[in-house]
A and B are shown apart, each in its own frame.
Chain A
Amino acid sequence: MKLITAVVKPHKLDDVRAALETFGVTGMTVTEASGYGRQKGHTEVYRGAEYEVDLVPKVRLEVVVEDGDSADVVDVIVKAAQTGKIGDGKVWVTPVDTIVRVRTGELDGDAL
């Protein structure tokens, strides 16, 4: 199994979620995040005092899938989240050892 983590623009979350649902992904975890990559922050001015706001708001979306689906799911996310402008985010994949469904104790594939 793979853990797919995507950091995307907040306003693309709905598109990504819809695309994943259509693909057949049944659940995900979403958290508000902030950070920066090539897209730097912005400047704010308060009574003439300028502040560099380095961290840009993003959402972080996590999905665990079977090994075989991993490449397709990454593809779905990238397509849905892409605007072509700087700051679209990143997607990365990490291996997962074990998954347990808390309610039933089911393991791994059954727990997805």
Chain B
Amino acid sequence: MEGMTLMEINAGDTAWVLASAALVMLMTPGLAFFYGGMVRMKSVLNMMMMSFITIAVVTVMWVLVGYSLTFAGDTGHVIGDFSEVGLKGLMATDSVSGSTPTLAFVAFQLMFAIITPALISGAIADRAKFRGWIAFVVGWTLLVYFPVAHSVWFLQDGNGGWIGDKLKAVDFAGGTAVHLNAGAAALALAIVLGKRVGWKKDPMRPHSLPLVLLGAGLLWFGWFGFNAGSALSAGTTAAVTFVNTQAATATAVIGWLIVERIVHGKATTLGLASGAVAGLVAITPSCGAVSPIGALILGLAAGAICCFAVSLKYKLGFDDSLDVVGVHFVGGLFGSLAIGLLGTAAAPSAVNGLFYGGGFTQLGKQALANLVVGLYSFTVAFILGKVIDKTIGFRVTEDDEVTGVDQVEHAETAYDFLGASGLRGALSARPAPAETENGTTTEPAEKEGVKA
């Protein structure tokens, strides 16, 4: 009967979900700062653009077909259908999802669809064509993110997405659907695009660690919306996941810094920022499944493991420039598997892991879900990357890469240091001569800053 399964709209829940959507939205600009600070000065704008353009592109996709393909109905337990394209019918006051208006859920889930492809961009710093990136975002979001998110989060009384509803692997806020998924695609793109010119030979130091820390801070803040917002209600589950998120992130910072101090001799700011993100990633799938003490243990291990993992690329020889694999793939996988170890039935997700007498059952389910998603995402990203590279091109020429993608792809430079020393106009930049009809150029009537 109509209305039988519908719940009333709850004002508190709706307020929390909408606020959480805004928090998660802020994570993508945060990611832009986090990544932007880590690249060299000549490519910071391109790096940040890759995150910001994803906000625009995926929003359009989500309104047109994305939401419908992810959360409207079920086709074969892997994808939705076209019944709600253009968000058809969702403005109605009786359109309810859980205890919130459906459009609140639409807005919240949109922000996840944005940040997931944006995460991948860290693997291809300094060398990607902007249009190649946009093509990749469109293709990967459509072919990988929508079906994976449906498989994990579309629940329909045991008959929804195969991972979340049939296999019953736990992925509270996206360790599998977001982080492992993006990490696998990042590995594929790092291989397709190849190493940067001068990799392992030239210094590629982060150009601004304060920007990295700003980004990490914004991510940390926004992540409360990501995890606690995924409760989709303003109650106990949101509170538990909020505390677990903070607890795991704290110990992940400490875990990363301890390993770094022992192995490399110093605790670094980049290590602190990376440890925080590694902890946030690892607690994402598990924040509803562990106790606060479990979260402390999980975070400590995640920080230490990811600190070791970021060195793997040098041994294996792929230029995952900003360690999307080492942090998001490894952190997401570890956090997801940890549910099978540290999960306790007392927590909202209500599963017992190995250490709580649950045996290996949950661990097996977690492993299977991640294996399938990882392989699928890697394969599609690899093929898609190759197709883009062979058609419209994905990597800039060597000359352009050495010059810098900011200049070549965007006709901009991030910082005007000559301007700061009073040399603007003389050495820094002049207005370009205006073109006349016969193709010759004339000098502009006034030089910048000079009154006639």
| Interaction A to B | yes
Asked if B264 is at the interface of the complex by the 8 Å CB criterion, the answer is: yes
Asked if B310 is at the interface of the complex by the 8 Å CB criterion, the answer is: yes
Q: Is the CB of B314 within 8 A of A49?
A: yes
- How far apart are the CA atoms of A46 and B268 in the complex, in Å? 8
CB distance from A47 to the nearest CB of B (A): 5
Number of chain B residues whose Cβ lies closer than 8 Å to a Cβ of chain A = 19
Q: In residues 306-349 of chain B, which contact A (Cβ within 8 Å)?
A: 307, 310-311, 314, 323, 326
Asked if A48 is at the interface of the complex by the 8 Å CB criterion, the answer is: yes
Q: In residues 216-273 of chain B, which contact A (Cβ within 8 Å)?
A: 260, 263-266, 268, 270-271
Q: In residues 277-323 of chain B, which contact A (Cβ within 8 Å)?
A: 307, 310-311, 314, 323
Asked if A44 is at the interface of the complex by the 8 Å CB criterion, the answer is: yes
Q: Is the CB of B203 within 8 A of A51?
A: yes
Q: Is the CB of A47 within 8 A of B310?
A: yes
Q: Most chain-A Cβ atoms within 10 A of its Cβ — which of B203, B265, B274, B310?
A: B203
Q: Most chain-B Cβ atoms within 10 A of its Cβ — which of A45, A46, A51, A53?
A: A46
- How far apart are the CA atoms of A49 and B310 in the complex, in Å? 9
Q: What A residues does B265 contact at CB under 8 A? A: 45
Q: Is the CB of B323 within 8 A of A47?
A: yes
CB distance from B305 to the nearest CB of A (A): 13
Asked if A110 is at the interface of the complex by the 8 Å CB criterion, the answer is: no
- How far apart are the CA atoms of A46 and B37 in the complex, in Å? 12
CB distance from A80 to the nearest CB of B (A): 26
Chain B residue nearest to A45 (CB atoms) is: B264
Q: What B residues does A46 contact at CB under 8 A? A: 205-206, 268, 270
CB distance from B313 to the nearest CB of A (A): 10
Interface secondary structure of A, over-half rule: strand
Asked if A72 is at the interface of the complex by the 8 Å CB criterion, the answer is: no
Asked if A50 is at the interface of the complex by the 8 Å CB criterion, the answer is: yes
CB distance from A96 to the nearest CB of B (A): 26
Chain B residue nearest to A43 (CB atoms) is: B265
Chain B residue nearest to A51 (CB atoms) is: B203
Q: In residues 172-193 of chain B, which contact A (Cβ within 8 Å)?
A: none
Q: Is the CB of B270 within 8 A of A47?
A: yes
CB distance from A51 to the nearest CB of B (A): 5
Q: Is the CB of B264 within 8 A of A51?
A: no
Q: What A residues does B323 contact at CB under 8 A? A: 47
Chain A residue nearest to B209 (CB atoms) is: A46
Chain B residue nearest to A53 (CB atoms) is: B203
Q: In residues 47-103 of chain A, which contact B (Cβ within 8 Å)?
A: 47-51, 53
- How far apart are the CA atoms of A33 and B110 in the complex, in Å? 50
Q: Is the CB of A45 within 8 A of B203?
A: no
**Can you list 27 A-B contacts (CB < 8 A)?**
A45-B260, A45-B265, A45-B266, A45-B268, A46-B205, A46-B206, A46-B268, A46-B270, A47-B270, A47-B271, A47-B274, A47-B310, A47-B311, A47-B323, A47-B326, A48-B260, A48-B263, A48-B307, A48-B310, A48-B311, A49-B204, A49-B311, A49-B314, A50-B264, A51-B203, A51-B205, A53-B203
Known contacts A45-B260, A49-B314, A51-B205; 12 additional CB pairs below 8 A are: A45-B264, A45-B266, A45-B268, A47-B270, A47-B310, A47-B311, A47-B323, A47-B326, A48-B260, A48-B307, A49-B311, A51-B203
9 closest residue pairs by CB, A with B? A48-B311, A45-B264, A51-B203, A47-B310, A46-B270, A47-B270, A48-B310, A51-B205, A46-B205
